Amino acid sequence: MPIWTLFGLSRGTATTDWPADLQNDGQQNVFGMPRYHPEKCETGCKECVAVCLPGALSLKQDDEVRLNVDYGRCVACQLCVEVCPTGAMEATNDWAFAVHERDDLRWKQALRSPEAGKLKSRVEGAFKRSLHIRHVDAGSCNGCESELQALNNPFYNLHRLGIFFTPSPRFADVLLVTGTVTYAMRDALLATYDAMPAPKWVMAMGTCAVSGGIAAGGYSSGHGLDGVLPVDVWLPGCPPNPAAIIHALLMLLERAPQRVHNGQMDTSRYE
């Protein structure tokens, strides 16, 4: 019979050094949210709006910026990039899209610089080194679960960052919610939140949990966590890749900066 311990040792180290080292995040060629360039956007054109299934793009009236862009609804399907005749929608690898305020997912002209040192302290020191997560699937497609399960594979090895999944809400610091919040999951979700001791935080993971995504509304699907639970971190993506989830968790712990403000990615520190 094989000795698995030896087998494991013989395989060497599989774990990435990311995010300490910025190179190997494992997301080579993974597309993220399309970047909006309003200066290239042409009057009279609404190609992108017509193909945006979740309604992340809508036309604005009487303004020099023609589009409302809400990344909280974007499923990164890249259709707008493909139909845009002028390149106003650009394909990117912008997937680290976690924000504290829902409004930061909406594109706005002024790029507000993050006020260093004035970050509102959410975790108050107590949880900076360690975090326990209770996950609830409130009606997902299982894509988000697949990426959450990937966090514990040897490549990402979430434990090395002091972050753990816990089976019981009683031991949890963070409620991590995926899915649209269907009518049938709503009471179970609220019961899980109520079972958690304070202080506690909520993370909306995936575009479905942020806004309902492509499944929003209808007879049985909800519109995500807005108005259901108080959310501390919003992470759109369809699904967010494991590195994006790690970034969001570290952001909650104030160990990583928020990179998106006013719907725009701050790339300066990384490029």
Partner 1 sequence: MKGVEEIQLASTELQPACEALLRAGGRMQMVWSWFPDGRDMEVCYLASRQPRESFVLWRSRSENGVLPSLTRITPAISWHEREMSDLCGVRFQGHPKLNPLILHAGTQPVAPPLSPRYPKDTPLPFVRQPAHVPKVVGPDIQELPFGPVRAGVMESAQFLFFYLGEHILHYQPRLFFKHRGMEKRFEGLEPALGVVLAERVSGVGSFAHALAYCQAIESACDCVIPPRAEWVRTLLAEFERLYNHLHYFGHLADTTTLKVGHAEGMLLEERVKQISARLCGSRFLRNLLQPGGLRHDLNTYTALSDDLQKLHQDIRRYLEQLSRTSSYLDRLITTGILNRQIALDQGATGPIERASGLDYDLRRDHPYAAYGSVQLQVPVREIGDANARAEIRAAEIETSLAMIQRLLANVQHGAFCASYQTVPNGQGLGWCESPRGALFYAVHLDSNGRLARVKVRSPSFSNWRIFQYTVHDSNMMDYAINEASFGLTIAGCDR
249-268 residues in contact with partner 1 (CB under 8 A) are none
Kindly indicate which of the ranges 40-48, 64-72, 76-84, 119-127 contains the residues binding partner 1, using the contact rule CB under 8 A. 76-84
- 187 lines the binding site for partner 1 (CB under 8 A): yes
- 82 lines the binding site for partner 1 (CB under 8 A): yes
- 215 lines the binding site for partner 1 (CB under 8 A): yes
- 25 lines the binding site for partner 1 (CB under 8 A): no
Task: Please say which residue, 125 or 167, places its beta carbon nearer to partner 1.
Answer: 167
**What's the rounded Cα separation, in Å, for the pair 12 and 9?**
6
User: Which of 18, 19, 27, 55: binder of partner 1 (CB under 8 A)?
Assistant: 27
- 70 lines the binding site for partner 1 (CB under 8 A): no
With contacts defined by CB under 8 A, how many residues of the chain interact with partner 1?
Answer: 69
- 171 lines the binding site for partner 1 (CB under 8 A): no
- 28 lines the binding site for partner 1 (CB under 8 A): yes
Kindly indicate which of the ranges 56-64, 74-82, 100-108, 117-125 contains the residues binding partner 1, using the contact rule CB under 8 A. 74-82
- 123 lines the binding site for partner 1 (CB under 8 A): no
Q: In what order do the strands lie in the sheet with 201-205?
A: 163-165, 131-137, 174-178, 201-205, 233-235
- 31 lines the binding site for partner 1 (CB under 8 A): yes
CB atoms near residue 145 (< 10 Å): 17
DSSP one-letter string for the chain: ---HHHHHHHT------TTTSSS--S-TT---PPEE-GGGPPTT--HHHHH-TT--EEEPSSSSS-EEEBTTS-----HHHHH-SSS-EE--------BSSGGGGB--SS-PPP-TT----SSTTTTSS-EEEEEEESS--SHHHHHHHHTTSTTT-GGGGTEEE-S-GGG-SEEEEES---TTTHHHHHHHHHHSPSS-EEEEESHHHHH-GGG-STTT--BTBTTTS--SEEE--SSPPHHHHHHHHHHHTTSS---EETTEE--TTT-
Binding string, 36-55, against partner 1, x = CB under 8 A? ---------------x-x--
Query: Which single residue is written with the structure tokens 């299982």?
Result: 142
User: Which of 17, 171, 188, 227: binder of partner 1 (CB under 8 A)?
Assistant: 188
**What's the rounded Cα separation, in Å, for the pair 252 and 199?**
13
- Smallest distance, partner 1 to C-beta of residue 248, A: 15
User: Which of 26, 38, 55, 114: binder of partner 1 (CB under 8 A)?
Assistant: 26
- 145 lines the binding site for partner 1 (CB under 8 A): yes
- Smallest distance, partner 1 to C-beta of residue 117, A: 35
Chain positions contacting partner 1, by CB under 8 A: 1-2, 4-5, 7-8, 11, 14, 26-31, 51, 53, 75-79, 82, 135-150, 152-156, 165, 167, 169, 179-180, 182-185, 187-189, 191-192, 213-215, 217-222, 238-239, 241
